[in-house]
Amino acid sequence: MKSFRVVALLAACGMLVAASSVFGAGQNRAGTAAAAELLIPVGARAMALGGSSAATTSGIEALYWNPAGLTRASSDATLAFSTMSYLGDTRVNYVALAGRFKGVGSLALDIKALAFGDIPVTTETRPDGTGAYFSPTFFTVGGHFSRDLTDRIALGITSHYIVNRIERVDAVAISFSAGLQYLNLGDIEGLDMGVVLKHIGARMEYTGSSLLRRGQIDDVRRPAADYNIQASSADLPSTFEIGLAYAYPQLNAGELNLHSVFRHNNFAYDQLRFGVEYIYGDMLAVRAGFDYATDTVEDTYIYGTSYGFGLQTSIGGLEDVRVDYAYTNVDFFDGLNTFTFEIGF
């Protein structure tokens, strides 16, 4: 009977995926969203699982994947740092601090920044470079809150302050996200569900002195003047995710977890994500995942397989020290290498 209920719930999730894909048309607006750095993932564990951990992500790594999982941290306070080699020699650095407060819930603060290195300045008249260099500033600062509603249901909310600056133009915005996790769905031990709505906020628009251009209006008796170019505004890259995970019970040697997520992108193709994780002795974890975009034209979606491992131990007075690594295969680019270091107090 339990197996039948598992199959029925998975089938229901599949029907939801099919229905969502009928009405989803985000691929028609691909590349038109602002603040695309909001979509850059962090956290080696979930990346090794192909981004499929919305139902089970917990602690400080849940801040990106599903903020509801923050309240299920194993430590009262956690510090984490992550770094990832990203596309085109870009690096993504991330630091987060979280704590549990009795009677309130769990609170966290995180910062994600992109490191582009030095980029040559070019102009219309000097396309090979002027000899000067610049480095864009792209970062987000997030505040997070999560608490248990019942022994099975947890809710989390997130707000991000987004800053994009390129030389003398910049744009800022605020986004909001919310997530929910439900444990033992349908009274089935080990079957969990996660739902996340991400990056809802006002449109983002660039302003700054670099948008001033000197010109003169024809047939008007007035000297040349500086005119401001009105930049177009763009929506934030909102997404909706629903995930299921199942932990196989009573394994004699370790723990086996299966993960799945359907993700609807408002500005890209929808995605199906799958992951598997084997944990041995609460110390070593081995992971693999797959990320597939639905209805894509051949060779237009560059992500696919991923894998990684994690180690957990205690050192001195630190009760929970974790090191995770993930490798993500990327077409046409070098693969992404992600390291995450986490300390629980």
pLDDT per position as a tens digit, 317-326: 777 899 999 9
Question: What does the mean pLDDT of the chain come to?
Answer: 87
Amino acid at the residue 151: D
If you search the block for the tokens 């910062």, which residue do you land on? 111
Residue 249, domain CATH: 2.40.160.40
Which residues partner with 272 through β-bridges?
262, 292
Report DSSP state, residue 231: P
pLDDT at 61 (0 to 100): 92
Report DSSP state, residue 207: E
Share of the chain above pLDDT 70, in %: 88
What pTM does this model have?
0.85
Convert the pLDDT of each residue in 31-57 to its tens digit: 778 899 999 999 999 999 999 999 999
pLDDT at 17 (0 to 100): 47
Poorest-pLDDT segment among 130-134, 144-148, 208-212, 278-282: 208-212
Whether the predicted pLDDT of 70 surpasses 60: yes
Give the whole-angstrom CA distance, residue 262 versus residue 274: 9
The residue ranking higher by pLDDT, 315 or 137, is: 137
DSSP state string for 289-337: EEEEETTPPTT---EEEEEEEEEEEEETTEEEEEEEEEEEEETTSPPEE
With bands split at pLDDT 50, 70 and 90, how would you rate the model's confidence at 168?
confident
Convert the pLDDT of each residue in 241-279 to its tens digit: 999 999 987 667 788 999 999 999 988 888 999 999 999
DSSP state string for 60-100: GGHHHH-GGGGGG-SSSEEEEEEEEE-GGG-EEEEEEEEEE
| Average confidence (pLDDT) over 137-143 | 95
DSSP state string for 151-201: SSEEEEEEEEEEEEEETTEEEEEEEEEEEEEESSGGG-TTEEEEEEEEEEE
Convert the pLDDT of each residue in 195-239 to its tens digit: 999 999 999 998 888 888 777 777 667 777 777 788 888 999 999
Q: What angle do CA 310, 311, 316 make, to 5 degrees?
A: 150
Residue 166: which domain range? 2-344
Segment (H or E) for 20: helix 2-23
Number of structural domains (the chain) is 1
